[in-house]
Structure 1
Amino acid sequence: MSDIAVAPGTRGVEGYVLRQAEPGDLPGARSVMLDTVYRDFGHGYLPQWHSDIIDLDSYYLGPEDNTLFVAVKDGAVAATAGVRGQTPVSPPHPLEVTNRFEEGHTATLYRVYVRPEHRRQGLAGALVDACMAFIAGRERYTGVYLHTDARTPGAVEFWAKRGTVLFDERTAVNDMRAESPDEPFQTVHFELPIPR
């Protein structure tokens, strides 16, 4: 795998190596992801939603049109961002979201997480740029989707600068909440333009 070419003057990425994940990066990436779901989301690991975290190799390194990027500093993974070719369905998403994307042609961004001590350095932006360049290089993809948990500091604001809000579960009344009243939904769904 090769390091990511970062535009000169990109804020904060000095001192970090940004690259497509290698097998040796997976334990550190998993740690970043698990820490985020416990600390920021407040509900911890839920196998029905987070199985990819446990099996990063099968979800991100194995499939040709999927990938995982990492930012590494002093040998430790500080941030992650992944791409998977998956139409948004899980956790159960509103029909307004799932009906918008074409099966088999949607790139979904996953696990764009930065450890708190590395935030506000430009890492998430640089990793997302790498994901978008990866997506743009794949003819298969005609749409880009992601969802974020609004409890993650700065997440909604970050994505709103890059894409369009499709659905905000914090303010919407929908059948999904009625079906799962105990689930901790704070989800905001986005569509991003593919840079061609």
Structure 2
Amino acid sequence: MTRQHPYEVRPARPEDLPGARALILDTFYREFGYGYVPAWHQDVVDLGPTYLDHPRHALFVATTGDGEVVGTTALHSRGPAHPPHPAWLAERYPSGLTAQLVRVYVRAEHRRHGLARQLVDLAVEFAESDGGYQHLYLHTNVDIPGAEPFWRSLAVEVCDARATGEHGPGFSTVHFEIPLHRSAGRTGKLAGAQI
């Protein structure tokens, strides 16, 4: 018999940061297999200043009834950097006008409860409410189980970079955009959602 967890999906609070950081770092080491890379992951060290203290950035969490952070999603105002990404992509998604979706992770034992989708919905709602964002961009490694079908259900492919190997061996990167101002059908609420 599987134990059912009540979840809350909401903006992160200062007390959530240690659990969010642990989940993100566990994902880097256990699922991705490459660990912490300072050039890519500085935001994880500085979650508070990066996401809670910046008015155009956000961190969202899914927590269990006892407060354990089991899912994360973050959004910041920096577009994709060149390098490692192609120059045309960085030009298409300029910093300041682009909300970049990052750190969409759910602990394996808490998947298949719709948490990632709800977290992404909150991030989209935040990007739309900001008023200054024209694009919502993300990229993913489609070798991660479930990543490609999940993003294809929510986003539009911009560039399949598997052939270029832009991040090196072992990275199958696909770039996506989620159209903004698509309010119909979304259920997320910035105040928090119980499921």
TM-score (norm 1): 0.84
TM-aligned CA distance change 1:91 to 1:45, over 3 Å = farther
**Structure 1 residue aligned with 2:27, among 31, 36, 39?**
36
Aligned residues of 2:77 and 2:95 also touching (Cα < 8 A): no
CA distance in 2, matches of 1:42, 1:92: 19
Cross-structure match for 2:173 = 187
Alignment of 1:136-175 (within 5 A): 136-170=128-162, 172-173=163-164
**Structure 2 residue aligned with 1:114, among 106, 115, 123?**
106
Greater RCO, CA 8 A, separation 6+? 2
**Aligned residue-pair number:** 178
* Identity rate, percent: 46
TM-aligned CA distance change 1:184 to 1:59, over 3 Å = farther
Gaps of 5+ in 2: 183-195
Q: Root-mean-square deviation (CA), in Å?
A: 1.9
Aligned residues of 2:78 and 2:99 also touching (Cα < 8 A): yes
Cross-structure match for 1:89 = 81
Cross-structure match for 2:116 = 124
TM-aligned CA distance change 1:79 to 1:90, over 3 Å = farther
Structure 1 segments (4+ residues) deviating >3 Å = none
- Indicate the SS of the match to 2:95: coil
Gaps of 5+ in 1: 1-12
Aligned residues of 1:110 and 1:146 also touching (Cα < 8 A): yes
CA distance in 2, matches of 1:102, 1:56: 22
